[in-house]
């Protein structure tokens, strides 16, 4: 009967275990020196060799002729353990035997000496699935088991184990198998089985397996059913995933903000039975590769790709900002979470790529940073330039000059009397406004006060409420505010209110003005003309005549 590759080529000695030399060397040395622990804990991600090492360890401690800490696999004990004929090695699945009664059965069995082996070994797989009661029942036995008993616990979620269990075991952490070691092992198996695998296919399988040797061999086994030659295209078809050309095309559509092309690509992939969850995962990995290329000088050491693909990543990463890449990864990860909750996968992916292609549709921090970065790049590249000046004919320029000269009245000269200046100026800034004031007077002109008040709502909403219903005029360098609110003067002097008004005026008018209040009472009372001064001698004569002294001015 046919046996799948991961079972057929399961390592039988420690030296055959791929990518876990830091563990296999230690275990072999312990067996060789006889310094064995009573309980071992193997933890790590799936397919990294935990159960395989547990079985090798169970054979090695009972082997009649061990070789450098490895089982010989030829003695009757090794053969019996391999075939399952020896019952002293018990492999228990904690997912289905997780109750207190199952642990009590183990506690009763360990009191009996092994029938065929030196040690009775209990391999408890997925030990984190045990109930709290089962863990408590195992504590004392795990701490002080009989001399002829060894426990080997294996789990993928070590954080779920109680600290009391962890402290009673010798712990070994299994690492993910590197792509290079995985490709080397698959190439060896292909040569033994008589089929050919291209380098691109090996690299792709290693990337899909994500460090799990069992997953890689399962996918390789699946590909062998299509022929004796396995290439990257066949791997993509068998795995139900997209090729990298589609990933680059989708990323380009995001960069060009063309959601129509992105939706057409998704529709085409969906028609080819591409799994949307796999597509989302591949896009996350694709933008992750762009992020690595964008931030790391020697990106080839962190990416699993060919030289041509690395150059493609470099070319595409230059078109993205780092903010754009991080925003895409964040949104795709959120999409992956939504897909796993059972929503419509195709619709979720289409919505995501519309959001990626139209940043204004999202208002989270990542999207705002992305939009700001785009604006900065456009400004650096000269995308935003000032509007060209509109050329005017000489006749239009002369007509415009006449209109301006009719609007602006001449400023009174310094030689005019002060009374004449006052007559030309119907209003003046009040002295209680804390701004410098000069006697610069021009004719009164109306302001676009409604626009200024609207601008003020962005800066100071309470101040807008105080100024609501007011008006203003320009007098020289001053803007004079007309309002019936008696608290306006005090309110302007408080805090930054005056600065906010001047900022709003500058934003609308394009230049800075000083601030003042319109004094209506001063304008209603017309100034009296100045009386001509008398000669001092005439005053003296008048006083003398009042005293009865006759003064003859003709003498």
State the virtual CA torsion across 429, 432, 437, 440 in degrees, nearest 10: 10
What fold characterizes domain 243-380? Zinc Finger, Delta Prime; domain 3 (1.20.272)
Is residue 394 classed exposed, middle or buried when 0-12, 13-18 and 19+ CB atoms within 10 A define those classes? exposed
How far is residue 216's CA from residue 234's CA, in Å, rounded to a whole number?
Answer: 14
- pLDDT value of position 441: 40
pLDDT: is 84 or 547 the higher one?
84
Q: Is 429 helix (H, G, I), strand (E, B) or coil?
A: coil
CATH topology of domain 423-524: GMP Synthetase; Chain A, domain 3 (3.30.300)
With 70 as the cut, is the pLDDT of residue 525 above it? no
pLDDT of residue 442: 36
| Stretch (H or E) spanning 151 | strand 149-155
Domain ranges of the chain: 5-173, 179-238, 243-380, 423-524
In tens, the pLDDT along 264-280 reads 999 999 998 888 998 99
Query: Average of pLDDT values for 519-528?
Result: 51
- Record the tokens describing residue 311, joined without a space: 């150059």
Could you tell me which CATH class the domain 179-238 is placed in?
A: mainly alpha
**pLDDT, tens only, 348-402:** 999 999 988 887 776 566 556 666 766 666 665 555 444 444 445 555 555 555 5
Distance CA 41, CA 174 (A): 10
pTM of the complete model beyond 0.75: no
CB distance 125 to 156 below 8 Å: no
Query: What pLDDT is recorded for position 404?
Result: 42
Q: In the β-sheet with 445-446, what is the strand arrangement from edge to edge?
A: 445-446, 471-475, 478-482, 514-517
Q: What is the mean pLDDT of the chain?
A: 80
Which residues, other chains included, contact 235 with Cβ-Cβ below 8 Å and sequence gap of 6+? 201, 204, 205, 208, 219, 223
Residue position matching structure tokens 């790049």: 377
pLDDT digits (tens, 9 = 90+) for 430-440: 434 444 333 33
Q: Residue 23: how many CB atoms within 10 A of its CB? A: 21
Other Cβ atoms less than 10 A from the Cβ of 140: the count is 11
pLDDT digits (tens, 9 = 90+) for 107-149: 999 988 898 899 999 999 999 999 999 999 999 888 888 999 9
Q: How far is CA 13 from CA 90, 229, 293, 486, in A?
A: 19, 30, 40, 96
pLDDT of amino acid 120: 93
* Distance of alpha carbon 202 from alpha carbon 181, whole angstroms: 11
Q: Does this chain's domain 179-238 share its CATH topology with 423-524?
A: no
Say if residue 6's pLDDT is above 70. Answer: yes
Taking the C-alpha atoms of residue 375 and residue 383, their distance in angstroms, rounded to an integer, is 9
Backbone phi and psi for residue 70, each to the nearest 5 degrees, phi listed first: -105, 150
Mean pLDDT to the nearest integer, 188-199: 90
CATH class for the domain made up of 5-173? alpha beta
Split at pLDDT 50, 70, 90, the class of 237 is confident
- Quick one: tokens of 401? 């000059």
Q: What's the rounded Cα separation, in Å, for the pair 75 and 244?
A: 50
Whole-number Å distance between alpha carbons of 90 and 81? 10
Distance of CA 388 to the CA centre of its chain: 40
pLDDT score recorded for residue 274: 87
Report CA-CA distances (Å) from 105 to 114, 134, 138, 148, 155.
Answer: 16, 11, 11, 17, 21
CA-angle at 424, arms to 418 and 429, nearest 5°: 80
Please give the Cα distance from 442 to 425 (Å, whole number): 7
Mean pLDDT of 440-461: 68
């Amino acid at each position: 009967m046919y046996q799948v590759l991961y079972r057929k080529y399961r390592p039988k000695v420690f030296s055959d275990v791929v990518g876990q030399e830091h563990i296999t060397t230690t275990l072999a040395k312990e067996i060789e020196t006889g310094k064995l622990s009573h309980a071992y804990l193997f933890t790590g991600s799936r397919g990294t060799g935990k159960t395989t090492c547990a079985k090798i360890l169970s054979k090695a401690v009972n082997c009649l002729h061990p070789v450098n800490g490895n089982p010989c696999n030829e003695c009757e004990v090794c053969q019996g353990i391999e075939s399952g004929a020896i019952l002293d090695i018990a492999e228990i699945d904690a997912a289905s035997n997780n109750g207190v009664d199952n642990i009590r059965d183990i506690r009763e069995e360990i009191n009996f000496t092994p029938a065929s082996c030196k040690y009775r070994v209990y391999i408890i797989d997925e030990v984190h699935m045990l109930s709290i009661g089962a863990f408590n029942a195992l504590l004392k036995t795990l701490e002080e088991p009989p001399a002829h008993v060894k426990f080997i616990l294996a789990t993928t979620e070590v954080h779920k184990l109680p600290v009391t269990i962890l402290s009673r075991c010798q712990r070994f952490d299994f690492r993910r198998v590197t792509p290079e070691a995985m490709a080397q092992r698959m190439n060896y198996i292909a040569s033994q089985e008589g089929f050919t695998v291209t380098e691109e296919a090996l690299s792709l399988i290693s990337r899909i397996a994500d460090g799990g040797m069992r997953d890689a061999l399962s996918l390789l086994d699946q590909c062998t059913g299509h022929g004796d030659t396995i290439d990257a295209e066949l791997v993509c078809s068998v795995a139900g995933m997209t090729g990298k050309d589609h990933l680059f095309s989708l990323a380009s559509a995001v960069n060009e903000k063309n959601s129509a092309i992105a939706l057409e690509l998704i529709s085409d992939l969906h028609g080819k039975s591409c799994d949307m969850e796999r597509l989302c995962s591949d896009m996350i990995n694709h933008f992750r590769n762009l992020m690595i290329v964008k931030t790391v000088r020697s990106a080839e050491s962190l990416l699993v790709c060919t030289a041509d693909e690395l150059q493609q990543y470099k070319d595409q990463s230059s078109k993205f900002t780092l903010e754009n890449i991080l925003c895409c990864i964040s949104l795709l990860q959120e999409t992956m979470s939504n897909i796993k909750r059972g929503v419509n996968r195709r619709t979720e992916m289409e919505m995501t790529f519309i959001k990626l292609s139209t940043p204004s549709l999202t208002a989270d921090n990542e999207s705002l940073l992305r939009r700001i970065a785009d604006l900065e790049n456009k400004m650096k590249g000269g995308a935003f330039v000032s509007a060209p000046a509109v050329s005017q004919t000489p006749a239009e320029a002369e007509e415009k000059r006449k209109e301006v000269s009719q609007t602006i009245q001449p400023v009174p000269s310094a030689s005019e009397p002060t009374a004449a200046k006052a007559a030309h100026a119907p209003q003046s800034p009040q002295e209680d406004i804390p701004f410098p004031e000069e006697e610069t007077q021009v004719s009164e002109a109306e302001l676009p006060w409604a626009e200024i008040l609207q601008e003020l709502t962005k800066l100071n909403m309470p101040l807008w409420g105080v100024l609501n219903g007011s008006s203003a005029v320009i007098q020289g360098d001053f803007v004079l505010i007309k309002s019936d609110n008696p608290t306006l003067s005090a309110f302007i002097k408080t805090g930054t209110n005056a600065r906010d008004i001047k900022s709003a005026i500058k934003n609308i008018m394009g230049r800075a003005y000083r601030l003042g209040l319109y004094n209506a009472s001063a304008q209603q009372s017309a100034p009296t003309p100045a009386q001509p001064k008398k000669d001092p001698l005439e005053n003296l004569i008048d006083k003398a005549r009042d005293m009865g002294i006759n003064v003859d001015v003709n003498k």
